[in-house]
Structure 1
């Protein structure tokens, strides 16, 4: 029996919070779009949005009852990642645990990979 790694997954805590948000969105069939954009202090930034569209080339994964949507440009950098929700003294928010990130910014919202660095500037305050 072989084990295949999902393109992207969501933690139990992340799924519970995402379900709450999706229910309030009033968009039947919507999912969580996870994407990468250039910027941030380490080269790339994570982004997430509620989306009820599926575009050509999107990767769709349903994990723990949550539809995760990733565009074709972002999937390579997100392969094997897990979306999570964490709460700490500064509040709460979604985060991405990305095995492809070789370094990340102190704020946890941007990252760098070997050989695939976006040469855009910006600090942690620029998200």
Structure 2
């Protein structure tokens, strides 16, 4: 099991955490949303919650809740320009399809 940050994403998360008092790392997971069903969610983690799995990459901690873990395991998180702004992007090996706008995804489990 692993979540991987690209060097650009790692630097961005490291900067966000350093600039935010009380931040412990990145919180990463999914929620039901969009056309296809699941959307990736990122935020700063301010606490470790019961059931969290914590990954660490070169001093940056990534907190994933138990309900999201199977859906995001193996994901590579990148950061870069997207349209007119900058955002995190995700290469999730568990996603079997995405909606047309790329904001949500489905997995094989969703089709059973």
Whether TM-score is above 0.5 comes out as yes
Q: In structure 1, the residue corresponding to 2:66 is in which secondary structure?
A: coil
Runs (4+) of structure 1 moved beyond 6 Å?
A: none
Q: In structure 2, the residue corresponding to 1:116 is in which secondary structure?
A: helix
Q: Which structure has the larger Rg over C-alpha atoms?
A: 1
1:89 deviates by: 4.1
Choose which of 32, 38, 45 in structure 1 pairs with 2:32: 38
> For the residues of structure 1 that align with 2:104 and 2:92, how far apart are their CA atoms?
11
> For the residues of structure 1 that align with 2:100 and 2:44, how far apart are their CA atoms?
26
Could you tell me which runs of 5 or more consecutive residues in structure 2 were left unpaired when the two chains were aligned.
Answer: none
Q: Which has the higher helix share?
A: 2
Match status 1:71 vs 2:77: no
1:13 deviates by: 0.6
> For the residues of structure 2 that align with 1:85 and 1:56, how far apart are their CA atoms?
28
Moved more, 18-27 or 54-63: 18-27
Match status 1:86 vs 2:86: no
TM-score, structure 2 as length reference: 0.90
Q: Which has the higher strand share?
A: 2
TM-score, structure 1 as length reference: 0.80
Q: In structure 1, the residue corresponding to 2:16 is in which secondary structure?
A: helix
